[in-house]
Amino acid sequence: MKNILITEGRVIDCVQNLNSVMDVFISNGKITKLEPKITNFPPDTIIISAKKMIVSPGFIDMHCHLREPGYTKKETIYTATKAAAKGGFTTVCAMPNTDPAMDNNTTIEFVMEKAKTNGLIRVLPIAAATKKRAGYELTNMNELSNLGVVGFSDDGDPISNPNIMRQALSYSLSTNLPIINHCEVKELSENGVINEGRVSMLLGLAGIPNSSEDAMVARDIFLSETTGGNLHIAHASTSGAMELIAIAKDKGLNVTCEATPHHLTLTDESIFNRAKKIDHENILSKNPYDTNVKVAPPLRSQKDVDALVQGILNDTIDVIATDHAPHTNTDKNCTFEDAASGISNLETALSSVLSLHHSKNVPIPKIIEKLTSSPAKLINRPDLGSLKLNTTADITIFDPNFEWVVNSNSFASKGKNTPLEGEKVKGKVIKTIFGGEIIE
């Protein structure tokens, strides 16, 4: 294992309150020096100049779909971790909606072993909250937590039964791991494919109202208050959810949430093919909409996006998580109603969230906090998310001003389903170091 010296980078570490130009020295996979200027190092050291770049702890994705086992046409652990490394992530938390579902020791152990042999970075499984993710019977949470899972979720489907959710939250007190819920009242969102509003009416597509999310967020918050359980709201998307979560935090409840890069930066108007605003003259053109923007929950209104950005600034939102959901071309090259939900975004996540800095003055340290130290805390991994001396060298180096054009053909991910195709974006990962090794 080679020694590595990173020079003249702006080191940002929210755990240590660092935000200054420093050198970082890595030896035997560990961070051994962190100083303004390092001059004493072995002659065979690999030197990486990070001048005018940012050096941060490796990003942690708390919500990612690796698709293996079961859906390897969409993605594999190898391709997903390669894509993650390109995007600056050194840890990804794998969601359990695989086939078979990650609801038992055998499947969890398969994913962990596959990650060790085929993965390029750290993979931490999130176990299903209920057996087969069917919502009727809890998994053995204590047993699965002993395997090393970092949370429980039926993501892709909500835990609709309130009594099952109450029991899951009660168990979270003994596992000290979050119950991560996809908040959606199916009876309110039934048959919907896009945010309910002006755009859905213009296109004649069935809408999904904000209330489908807000109602379940409110329910889960009350259940968390009743049980004291550890509740984490996945991919929050509405202004109403922001209000409810802020109130819960003010009351001191054990409630956290995440937002995705796409919900923070895109609105439902992004459905119009390549036009980030409504083009009334061409609305009935041959390809009036882009199925790559179909996600669950749907992209919302500008009001909701503004509320989410404010949620980053005031810490209502704890984590930025990708919800990386790769699909085949066949899954997306169809009608909007038939298209699969999800965006492949591990490789564009940083550029998307940096647009909040470039256009809305969200501080870069705040963005880094939501990608590093905050998710590490929520998954109960204090060994991650920092550049402290003698910790494992998981490091991301990025240029916040580097401009590039998104070309999905260059993605490491099998999923090419991005609404950013052909867009010029700003901010790019230059180097990803995992365990002291240069991965990308």
Residues annotated as catalytic (active site), given as ranges: 323
Residues in CB range of 197: below 8 A, 6 or more apart: 207, 268, 301
Nearest to 242 by CA among 324, 312, 156: 312
Counting every residue written for the chain, the total comes to 440
Q: What angle do CA 300, 304, 305 make, to 5 degrees?
A: 85
- Chain position carrying tokens 């190092």: 41
Strand spans (E) along 14-161 = 18-27, 30-35, 46-49, 54-57, 59-64, 89-94, 122-125, 152-153
Q: What angle do CA 26, 32, 34 make, to 5 degrees?
A: 90
Angstrom distance (rounded) from CA 369 to CA 318 = 9
The CB density around residue 110, as the number of other CB atoms within 10 Å, is 18
- Chain position carrying tokens 């296109």: 203
Q: Quick check: 289 and 226 in contact, CB under 8 A?
A: no
Angstrom distance (rounded) from CA 125 to CA 107 = 10
- Chain position carrying tokens 């085929």: 118
Angstrom distance (rounded) from CA 412 to CA 115 = 16
- Chain position carrying tokens 């597509």: 205
DSSP 245: H
* Per-position b or e across 301-328, b if 16+ CB within 10 A of its CB: beebbebbbbbbeeebbbbbbbbbbbbb
Task: Please report how many Cα atoms fall inside a 13 Å half-sphere around the Cα of residue 373, on the Cβ side.
Answer: 16
3-class SS of residue 371 = helix
Tokens of 136: 């009727």
